[in-house]
Structure 1
Amino acid sequence: MNADLSTNFAYLFEEELLKEINNLGVPKKFKADTVIIELEDFIKSMPLLLSGAIKILREDEKGEELVLYYLEKGDTCAMTLSCCMGQTKSKIRAVAETDVSLILLPKEKMTVWLSKYKSWQSFILESYHNRVEELLEAIDTIAFLKMEDRLFKYLKDKAMVIHNDVLQVTHKQISEDLHTSRVVVSRLLKKLENEQKIALHRNSIKVLQL
């Protein structure tokens, strides 16, 4: 059995379900910045994340992206599950934030396992709950936080997801993720540095307050 599967999910799932996942799942690896799921794709399988982190994005009619939330090891994407069960096109883009290892599960098994395994039912319901909480947090961040606070939260969230307080991210990437200009990002990063919340380096940003 896949060692990462046992490590991440043995405490969640029955032995029989783990065996089914191991036998039916297709292991995949993606390099950082690789698009894993594209907007308007038909979803044929659901991912279980074994290692790394995935960024979930929405895109508007102008092609501008907005970060909704991150997936970490042990997670799945509730939106992907909805598309699997509803046979609809993807409403999100999933991009590898770091190098990623996952298992793709056949969509035909999603509803079968919901009735067959209580642990799977609990896992899916908890996944939905967590994603809804994260979506509400994203909405609150956009609606109620000043851009400076949004930027600092974005940096802290990214650091926690990749488990590293040194971020290899450009001002351009940040501006795209936050729907603002690179000039604004550069100005606010300098302000955060003056407040000793971050340290700016030539090709990286160190988050000092997590």
Structure 2
Amino acid sequence: MNQKADILNYLTRHFPTLDSHLQEHLSAVGLLKEVAAGTVLMKQGQYIKYTMLVLEGRIKLYREGEDAGEFFMYYLEPGDACAISMVCIASGKSSEVMAKAIEDAVVLMIPVQHMEALMKDYKSWYQFVIESYRRRFEELLMVLDSTVFKSMDERLLNYIREQSRQLQTRELKLTHQEIATDLNSSREVISRLLKKMEQKGMVKLYRNYIAVLTV
């Protein structure tokens, strides 16, 4: 299969709300890109040249503090678009967040010069962008509510549940440090809370993964 056919196959599978004419157009102007786990796709202070649609894998969105600490925002999965890059393109502003592939991924990069015409010429794209904004805003509100109003053990429980749901597995290949970074905590605190969850029969801790039992 050629790249255009590959793109159409991905779009049909993961972006069914985009009409067929739009999918054809995106397959002509978009660039299919494979990225390895750990690749940084967007940096703070960077001016955006492309917006991206996620076709495979997961992309982590987060802010990086002056002390190199991270504030986790949300994940992008197949069928998602990077709403923040769209906002930056529309406003001509540089990015204020980081985007990093946390596993091998495939994304469709759409050059900035096509964005205005897409919004004007394709109703399904306009609706898709608005829905992307809404979903990301709701996710950010959930993160804010969790950070401000919930204890760390509640946040950890919700995090484990959400990771299991998103990845569709009960075996989470996450280190205690990765969880601590996402929850803006320390590895020691997360390890202690996970041990408590294990004692309650909620999870089982192994060297390379966490088995979700009754969460």
Q: By the TM > 0.5 criterion, same fold?
A: yes
Is the counterpart of residue 41 in structure 1 residue 46 in structure 2?
A: yes
Is the counterpart of residue 81 in structure 1 residue 77 in structure 2?
A: no
Gaps of 5+ in 2: none
Candidates 64, 70, 77, aligned match of 1:65: 70
Q: Does the Cα contact within 8 Å between 1:70 and 1:161 map onto a contact in 2?
A: no
For residues 69-120 of structure 1, what are the alpha-carbon distances to aligned partners after superposition, in whole Å with 9 as ceiling and x for unaligned?
Answer: 1111111011110111222111111111222111000111112111111100
Q: Does the Cα contact within 8 Å between 2:72 and 2:184 map onto a contact in 1?
A: no
Identity across matched positions, percent: 36
Question: Structure 2 CA distance, aligned partners of 1:202 and 1:191?
Answer: 17
Q: Which residue of 2 aligns with 1:93?
A: 98
Q: Does the Cα contact within 8 Å between 1:52 and 1:162 map onto a contact in 2?
A: no
Question: Structure 2 CA distance, aligned partners of 1:59 and 1:26?
Answer: 28
Give the TM-score normalised by structure 2: 0.92
Question: Structure 2 CA distance, aligned partners of 1:39 and 1:164?
Answer: 32
Change (3 A) 1:98 1:161: farther
Candidates 14, 20, 34, aligned match of 1:15: 20
Q: Which amino acid aligns with 2:14?
A: N
Gaps of 5+ in 1: none
For residue 203 of structure 1, report the CA deviation from its aligned partner: 1.4
Question: Structure 2 CA distance, aligned partners of 1:15 and 1:184?
Answer: 50
Secondary structure, in 3 states, of the residue corresponding to 2:52? strand
Question: Structure 1 CA distance, aligned partners of 2:44 and 2:213?
Answer: 35
Secondary structure, in 3 states, of the residue corresponding to 1:33? coil
Question: Structure 1 CA distance, aligned partners of 2:141 and 2:122?
Answer: 29
Q: Which residue of 2 aligns with 1:186?
A: 191
Secondary structure, in 3 states, of the residue corresponding to 1:183? helix
Structure 1 consecutive aligned stretches of length 4 or more whose deviation exceeds 3 Å: none
Candidates 136, 141, 146, aligned match of 2:146: 141
Q: Does the Cα contact within 8 Å between 1:84 and 1:107 map onto a contact in 2?
A: yes
For residue 199 of structure 1, report the CA deviation from its aligned partner: 1.0
